Structure 1
Amino acid sequence: MVQKANTLLRVEEMKTVFKTREGNLEAVDGISFSIAKGETVAIVGESGSGKSVSALSILRLLDSNGEVTSGKILFNDLNLKDLSNDEIRKIRGNEIAMIFQDPMTCLDPVYTIGDQIIETIKIHENLSKKELRERAVELLKLVGLPDPESRINVYPHQLSGGQRQRVMIAIALACRPNLIIADEPTTALDVTVQAQILQLLKDLQSQFGTAIILVTHDLGVVAEMADKVVVVYAGQVVEQSHVKDLFNKPQHPYTEALMKSIPKIDTEKDRKLLTIKGNVPSLKEIPAGCRFHPRCSFATDKCRSEEPPLFELANERVSKCWIADPDLQGNWEAPLSIDENGSEYDINPHLVSKNNLLEVTDLKKYFPITKGILSRTIGHVKAVDGVTLNIHKGEVLGLVGESGCGKSTVGRLITGLIDSTNGEVSFDGKKLSKVNRKEKKIIRKRVQFVFQDPYSSLDPRMTILDIIGEPLEVHNIAKGSSKRGRVGELLETVGLSKKDMHKFPHQFSGGQRQRIGIARALATEPDLLICDEAVSALDVSVQAQILNLLKDLQLKLGLSYLFISHDLNVVKYISDRIAVMYLGEIVEVTDAETLFTNPLHPYAKALISAVPIPNPNIEPDRIILSGEVPSPSNPPSGCKFHTRCPLAMDHCKKEKPELIDIAEGHAVSCHLYKEEARL
C-alpha cells in the first residue's frame, strides 16, 4: 500500500516464530501494514489468526520462546526488531503504550492505582514526588474517573470493570505516547461502558493526535473507530482497506463471510445466520495453497495448490485471493458473492399455546455482608431484589443488563444452584418451595444450565463419553452400552461425530466445547435451558453456528430458553421476548421487536443506543450514561436508575416505580408512564 509522508509505524514482512518441542511454529507469516499519526488501524480476525501476536511482536512482548525472525518494524524509521532489551524498554510506555484486554490481570492487586500510574512515569521522566502525584491525578481526570483525588489511593479490586479499564488507559497515556496498541480493550465490558471507553479513546485521540492500533473481533467497534482495517487469517494479511470500502464491498471471501455471520439488530429472526465451516487451521497443519481454501465457498483447484500473492487494488486496497487477480477477471469458475440470506426457519409450533412453563414471582436474593471475628452481619448485597417474569413453553426469553445487575443470579436461583431469600419459582405449575426431594430431582432433570466458559465447566480429566454420560447415570436414564449409544446420538444432535466421545475437552476448539456443553445439558431431555452468556466467549463465525444450533433445537425439541447475555445483537436475534434488568430489578419487558423499535425505559433506550453498529456509513446516536452502576449493597432510594437517568424528576428519588402494563405484553417500571398505564 502507498506509504504516507506522516507514517508513524511501518511493519514490513514481519514473521514471528514460537520454538516448541515439536518444532518451530510460524504464528505470524509476513504481515505488512502501516499507521500514520492520528490514525486508527484495526486488526481483525478469528481467535488463532495471529492478531494479538502481531501486536505483541511490535513491542517485543512475546513469551520467552517467541521471536520476530525476519522483516522490519519501523517506528519513526527506527527498526524495533534490532534494538537491544534496554533500548526497547525506553520505547515501551514512553513512545508506544499498550492497553490489554483484561485490566484485572494486568493491574497489580497489591499496589494502589496511583502507585501503578506513577511507576510508569518514573521509568521515563525525572519528576518530584509532588509532580508525580499531580500528573497521576491529572491522568485520572483525563480518563473520566470520578473523584480522582481520593480514587488515586484505592486498589484495583475496589473499582468496577469500566473504571479499571480507564486506569489502564491512564497508564498507557502517562508519558503521552505517539502510538497506543489496544488489544480487545472493550471485549469484557458492557455495551454502555464500552460506549464510554470508545468515546474516551476518540476524544483523547483528537486531543493529542495519538495513533491507535485496535486489535478486535467486534466488527461494530471496527466500523465506529477505524480508519483502515487489516484482516488477518492463519498468520497472514488476507485483505487491507479503508474502513468504508471494506464494509461496502469486501474483496476477500473470508472478510465477506465474517461480516455476514454476525447477527445485527436488523437481521431477520426467521433466517439462519450464515456460517463459516470448519476452524482456523492449527499452526502445525497449515494447508497448501490458499490457507482459507478448506473453508471457502469459492475454492477451486488453483486455490488448493497455489498460494495467491497480495494483489494491489484501487484506492490503496490489497487482497490475498485469486478472485482479485486481474488476469482471471471474468473467467472465475466459482460464484463471486455469498448468498445474502440463510435458509428460512419454520414457524415455531410450540409457541401457539402461550402456556407458562416457568413463573418467577417477587424473587429476591440478599447476600449478607459480614464484619469482625464473629462475622456479624452489617448489611446485605441485594443481588436480586423482587424479580417477576414468566417463560412460555417453546419460548426464548432474553435477559439483558449491565454486569452486576443480577442476571446470572436469577439463572442460578431458578435452577436451585443457590437458595432464594424470598419469592417463588414455579415450574410447570409446581412451586419449587413446596416440592419434596424426589420431585425436586425430577424438576432439575427438566431444567439444565449452559455455562459461559465451556472449558472451565468441563472436567479436563474426563472423556466426552463420561462428561455427557454422567447426567444419564445420575438420573437413571441410561447405563453401559445404551449410555454409549445415547451419547453418540447427542453428539450428532449438536453437530459433532460420535467418534469424538473418547476424546478429552482440550482436543476440541472453543465452539466444539460449547457444543459438548449443550449436549450435556440436553442429555436429560430438559424442557428449559438456561444459557448464561453461552456465546459471549466465541468468535463471530462460531457464535453463528451455536445460535443456529440453539434455534434448530428449539424448533425440533420444543425447548424453552432463558438466554442471559450482554450482547444485544445476539439477544435480539434469538429471543421472542426480552426482559431488561437494572440493579436487581426488571425495568422493562416486551417482545424483541418492540424493545428495539420502541424502548420506553430510559435505561433500555441507553442500552440499545450503545450497541455498536457494524456499518461505518451510519453515525450512531448514542445516549452516554454518566457515572457508574451503584453498589447493590447500598442502592439509591426511589427509582434505582435515577442517579444516572437524564430524565429523572424529584419524585423519582423518593418513590419506587412499579412494573406496570402499558400495552398488551409490554410492561415498564418508570414514573414517566404512570398516566399511560392508568388510561
Structure 2
Amino acid sequence: MALNSDTLLKVEEMKTVFKTRTGNLEAVDGVSFSISKGETVAIVGESGSGKSVSALSILRLLDSNGEVISGKILFNDLNLKDLNDEEIRKIRGNEIAMIFQDPMTCLDPVYTIGDQIIETIKIHEDLSKNQLRKRALELLKLVGLPDPESRIDAFPHQLSGGQRQRVMIAIALACRPNLIIADEPTTALDVTVQAQIMQLLKDLQSQFGTAIILVTHDLGVVAEMADKVVVVYAGQVVEQSCVKDLFNKPVHPYTEALLKSIPKMDTDKNRRLQTIKGNVPSLKDMPAGCRFHPRCPMATEKCKNEEPPLFEVSKNRVSKCWTADPEVQEKKEIPALIEEQESDFEVNEHLASKQLLLDVRNLQKYFPITKGILSRTVGHVKAVDGVSLNINKGEVLGLVGESGCGKSTVGRLITGLIDSTNGEVNFDGKQLSSANRKEKKGIRKRIQFVFQDPYSSLNPRMTILDIIGEPLEVHNLAKGTTKRQRVAELLEIVGLSKNDMHKFPHQFSGGQRQRIGIARALATEPDLLICDEAVSALDVSVQAQILNLLKDLQLKMGLSYLFISHDLNVVKYISDRIAVMYLGEIVEVTDAQSLFKEPLHPYSKALISAVPVPNPNIETDRIILSGEVPSPSNPPSGCKFHTRCPFAMDVCKQQKPELKDISEGHTVSCHLYGEEQRT
C-alpha cells in the first residue's frame, strides 16, 4: 500500500507483545494513526497505557523480549516491521530520530557531547574530522546551547538539565531526519526551560518541516504543540482527533475525565478535582468488553460484555466507545454521564486564628568547595542565602522556582536533615538550633517529609506494616498489636485497605506508593508536612487524587504544608500563599490569587507566563528568559536576577534589593519597587 504524498508515517493495527514465562503480554493492541510532513501528533494517556511502547515499537527499540507481531509501520513505502536489524539501523537516527525522557541516562558520561553528536553523524555520513566537528558546532548553535565552542568539549555532568536536553535534540537532528519521536521531552524540566525547549522544537519544525510524534501526559504541552491527538488506554486507541476538537468537546469518557482532572489557572481551589477511580488494568488481567468500563461513569451492560470498535464520529475523528455508535446517536440512547458530585471543601477554620507555627529567619546554607590533597576550602556554593518565611497553623505555603534555586535544601534545613550555616528555625515558639537532643526529637516528630519519588524513599525489603510502623517505634508511640492497629488506621485515612499492610512497595502503583509515603509521614501525628515535589511524578488522574487527599487531611487534622513544586498550576490550586525563590533567595511572597493575577517581580512574571495552558484556543504571551541560572558558587553582584532580567538597571548590578512590603501581605525584593523608583 503506497502512502499519499503528504503522509510520512502510517501505523496500521500495530500489535506489540512482551514474552514472559507465563505467556505473551499484549502491551499495544491494534494501534493505528498517521502523521504528515511538518505535523505534530501527540500520544497521550496514563502511565501503563502503552504510549512509550507504541513509540518505541515504530523504531523497534523494544527490550529483547518485546516484539511487534502484527500490523504495518509504513514509512516512505517501507514497512519498518519487516526490516532486518541492519536495515532498521540505517533508518534510526538518519530518517527517524528519537529524543528520550531523561537525557542524563541516555548520554554517555565518559564521552564529550561533541563526540556523541559526531558519532551519530559518522554512522550515516562519510565526512572528514574537521567537517564532523564543524557540523557538531552548527547543531549546538542551532539548538541554542550557550557558548558552543567551549561546551562542545564538555561532559554531560557539566551541563544543566535543559542544556542536556538541547544536546539530545542536537543528536536527533544530526542527520536532518524527516520524523522526530519525542518521549516526554519536557517532563523533568522547569517551566522556563520547558518553554524554551517547546519553542525550539516549534522553530526547528517550521525551519526544516520535520514531523514530530510527541509522547506526553502533560496536556498543557499537548494543547500548545500538537495538531492531532491520539488518546491511548490499556494498549488501544480510544480517541483520535484534531487538538481543538478534542479539548473543546472530548467524545470518549476517558478523554473527558483526563481533561477534567487537571488543576488549571482558573480552577476554584475550594472545589475538589475530578478523579478517575481505580487504575489502568494490568496487562495480565484485561477486563472483558470495553477496557475502560470498570472506571467509566457511563458504563452499561453492553460495555462490560462487548468491546466497541473505533467509530467514525466526524471527518478525521474516531472514538472507541458505544456512545459514538451512529445507531445509538440516532436513537439518542446515550446514557447520561453519572458525574460524582464533586463537593466543595469545607472552610478551613484553622486559618482563622493566624497562629504562627513555623518562623524561619535569615536561613543560610553554604556548602564548601574544596581542592587539593589537603582539601582546602576555596569557595562556597551558596545554596540558601538568607531565606526568611513563616507558616501559620493550617496554612499551605507554596515554594516555587527553577531547579537549583534551593527549594529542597530549605525543606531539609527546616526538618534538621542537614545543619544550617546561619539563621534561625523557630517551630511553635522553640528554636531548633538551641534545642537539646530530646526537644529536637520532639520537634522532628511534629515535622515530617513527603518525598518526590515514593519508590526510592520506601524500603523495597520491608512490608508496608514495617515501613509505616517504623516511625511509631522510633518515637515510642506504638508497638506490637497497637502498632498494627495504628498502621491499619493510617492506611484507611489515606484511602488504602488494612489488608495491604503485609504487601511490599513493588506491589503498588505510583499513586498508591505516594499514599503509603503520606501515611508514614502522618504516623507521628505531625503539625507540618514538607511535600517536596510530592505529585510531580504522577499522572494527572492520580495527581488529582493525591491533591484532594492532602486538602482533606489539612482540614481534618489541621495540618500545615510547605509545598515545594515547579508545577505552578498545582501550587496555585493547593496553596494559600506562595513564596518565589531564585538562586537561594526569596524574591516575592503573597497570596496565591494575587501572585497569579498581578505578579510584581520580573522573575515571577516569567515563571507564570511559561506555564503551558491546557487550552489550544488561548495564545500565551510568553516571556522567554535570556541566559541561564548563574552558578550559586559565583552569584552575580547586586540583584542576582539582573543578568536575565529584561528590566535591569544600573542599580540592580551594584546594590542588592531588600525584601519589602509593597501592600498588605505582598512583599517583593526588586529595585523596580524601591525608594529610588518612587522619587
Query: TM over 0.5, yes or no?
Result: yes
Hey, what does 1:636 align to over in structure 2? 636
CA distance in 2 between partners of 1:502 and 1:313 (Å): 48
Hey, what does 1:408 align to over in structure 2? 408
CA distance in 2 between partners of 1:336 and 1:486 (Å): 39
1:141 is paired with a residue of what secondary structure?
Answer: helix
Hey, what does 2:541 align to over in structure 1? 541
Moved more, 326-335 or 619-628: 326-335
Kept after mapping to 2: 8 A contact 1:577/1:589: yes
CA distance in 1 between partners of 2:457 and 2:149 (Å): 42
1:321-347 Cα offsets, whole Å, 9 max, x none, are 0000111124436214757x7211111
Post-superposition shift, 1:677?
A: 9.6
Kept after mapping to 1: 8 A contact 2:3/2:76: no
Map 1:235-384 onto structure 2 (within 5 A).
235-329=235-329, 330-332=331-333, 334-336=335-337, 338=339, 342-384=342-384
CA distance in 2 between partners of 1:279 and 1:225 (Å): 28
Hey, what does 2:500 align to over in structure 1? 500
Moved more, 252-261 or 429-438: 429-438
Q: Amino acid of the residue matched to residue 280 of structure 2?
A: V
CA distance in 2 between partners of 1:168 and 1:678 (Å): 47
Q: Amino acid of the residue matched to residue 333 of structure 2?
A: W
2:616 is paired with a residue of what secondary structure?
Answer: coil
Post-superposition shift, 1:675?
A: 3.2
CA distance in 2 between partners of 1:77 and 1:577 (Å): 57
Kept after mapping to 2: 8 A contact 1:661/1:677: no
Hey, what does 2:200 align to over in structure 1? 200
CA distance in 2 between partners of 1:174 and 1:333 (Å): 51
Hey, what does 2:7 align to over in structure 1? 7
Hey, what does 2:675 align to over in structure 1? 675
Q: Amino acid of the residue matched to residue 523 of structure 2?
A: A
Post-superposition shift, 1:4?
A: 5.7
1:505-531 Cα offsets, whole Å, 9 max, x none, are 011000000000000000000000000
Hey, what does 2:165 align to over in structure 1? 165
CA distance in 2 between partners of 1:434 and 1:419 (Å): 12
Map 1:186-225 onto structure 2 (within 5 A).
186-225=186-225
Kept after mapping to 2: 8 A contact 1:234/1:281: yes
1:653 is paired with a residue of what secondary structure?
Answer: helix
1:52 is paired with a residue of what secondary structure?
Answer: helix
Hey, what does 1:623 align to over in structure 2? 623
Moved more, 415-424 or 434-443: 434-443
Hey, what does 1:113 align to over in structure 2? 113
Kept after mapping to 2: 8 A contact 1:114/1:153: yes
1:593 is the counterpart of 2:585:
no
Post-superposition shift, 1:47?
A: 0.3
Hey, what does 1:394 align to over in structure 2? 394
Hey, what does 2:518 align to over in structure 1? 518
CA distance in 1 between partners of 2:657 and 2:342 (Å): 43
Kept after mapping to 1: 8 A contact 2:3/2:77: no
1:61 is paired with a residue of what secondary structure?
Answer: coil
CA distance in 2 between partners of 1:313 and 1:486 (Å): 52
Kept after mapping to 1: 8 A contact 2:8/2:75: yes
CA distance in 1 between partners of 2:675 and 2:338 (Å): 52
The verdict on how the C-alpha distance between 1:333 and 1:616 changes in structure 2, with shifts beyond 3 A counting, is closer
2:181 is paired with a residue of what secondary structure?
Answer: strand
Hey, what does 2:486 align to over in structure 1? 486
Kept after mapping to 2: 8 A contact 1:351/1:395: yes
Q: Amino acid of the residue matched to residue 369 of structure 2?
A: I
1:161-183 Cα offsets, whole Å, 9 max, x none, are 00000000000000000000000
CA distance in 1 between partners of 2:551 and 2:113 (Å): 45
1:476-506 Cα offsets, whole Å, 9 max, x none, are 1111111101100000000000011111101
Q: Amino acid of the residue matched to residue 89 of structure 2?
A: R
Q: Amino acid of the residue matched to residue 336 of structure 2?
A: P
Kept after mapping to 1: 8 A contact 2:401/2:580: yes
CA distance in 1 between partners of 2:428 and 2:148 (Å): 52
Task: Give unpaired runs (5+ residues) of structure 1.
Answer: none
Hey, what does 1:454 align to over in structure 2? 454
Q: Amino acid of the residue matched to residue 638 of structure 2?
A: G
Hey, what does 1:73 align to over in structure 2? 73
CA distance in 2 between partners of 1:595 and 1:332 (Å): 47
1:116-158 Cα offsets, whole Å, 9 max, x none, are 0000000000111111010000000000001111110000000
Hey, what does 2:42 align to over in structure 1? 42
Kept after mapping to 2: 8 A contact 1:4/1:36: no
Post-superposition shift, 1:434?
A: 1.4
Q: Amino acid of the residue matched to residue 162 of structure 2?
A: G
1:634-658 Cα offsets, whole Å, 9 max, x none, are 1000000000001101110110001
Kept after mapping to 1: 8 A contact 2:297/2:337: no
CA distance in 1 between partners of 2:359 and 2:365 (Å): 16
1:287-325 Cα offsets, whole Å, 9 max, x none, are 000000000000000000000000011131000000001
The verdict on how the C-alpha distance between 1:208 and 1:443 changes in structure 2, with shifts beyond 3 A counting, is same
Between Structure 1 and Structure 2, how many residues are aligned? Answer: 677
The verdict on how the C-alpha distance between 1:337 and 1:173 changes in structure 2, with shifts beyond 3 A counting, is farther
CA distance in 1 between partners of 2:436 and 2:468 (Å): 27
CA distance in 1 between partners of 2:122 and 2:620 (Å): 40
1:361 is paired with a residue of what secondary structure?
Answer: strand
Post-superposition shift, 1:390?
A: 0.2
Q: Amino acid of the residue matched to residue 168 of structure 1?
A: M
Q: Amino acid of the residue matched to residue 634 of structure 2?
A: N
Kept after mapping to 1: 8 A contact 2:323/2:334: no
1:54 is the counterpart of 2:51:
no
1:95-128 Cα offsets, whole Å, 9 max, x none, are 0000000000000000000000000000000111
1:101 is the counterpart of 2:101:
yes
1:2-44 Cα offsets, whole Å, 9 max, x none, are 9864000000000000001111000000000000000000000
1:444 is the counterpart of 2:444:
yes
The verdict on how the C-alpha distance between 1:4 and 1:295 changes in structure 2, with shifts beyond 3 A counting, is farther
The verdict on how the C-alpha distance between 1:3 and 1:395 changes in structure 2, with shifts beyond 3 A counting, is farther
1:139 is the counterpart of 2:104:
no
Hey, what does 1:560 align to over in structure 2? 560
Kept after mapping to 2: 8 A contact 1:256/1:338: no
Hey, what does 2:465 align to over in structure 1? 465
Kept after mapping to 2: 8 A contact 1:463/1:505: yes
Hey, what does 1:419 align to over in structure 2? 419
CA distance in 2 between partners of 1:457 and 1:4 (Å): 51
CA distance in 2 between partners of 1:234 and 1:397 (Å): 37
The verdict on how the C-alpha distance between 1:664 and 1:99 changes in structure 2, with shifts beyond 3 A counting, is same
Post-superposition shift, 1:678?
A: 7.4
Post-superposition shift, 1:580?
A: 0.2
Kept after mapping to 2: 8 A contact 1:195/1:610: yes
CA distance in 2 between partners of 1:447 and 1:274 (Å): 30
1:561-614 Cα offsets, whole Å, 9 max, x none, are 000000000000000000000000000000000000000000000000000000
Post-superposition shift, 1:548?
A: 0.1
CA distance in 1 between partners of 2:465 and 2:544 (Å): 26
Hey, what does 2:154 align to over in structure 1? 154
* Percent identity over paired residues: 85
Kept after mapping to 1: 8 A contact 2:359/2:391: yes
2:412 is paired with a residue of what secondary structure?
Answer: helix
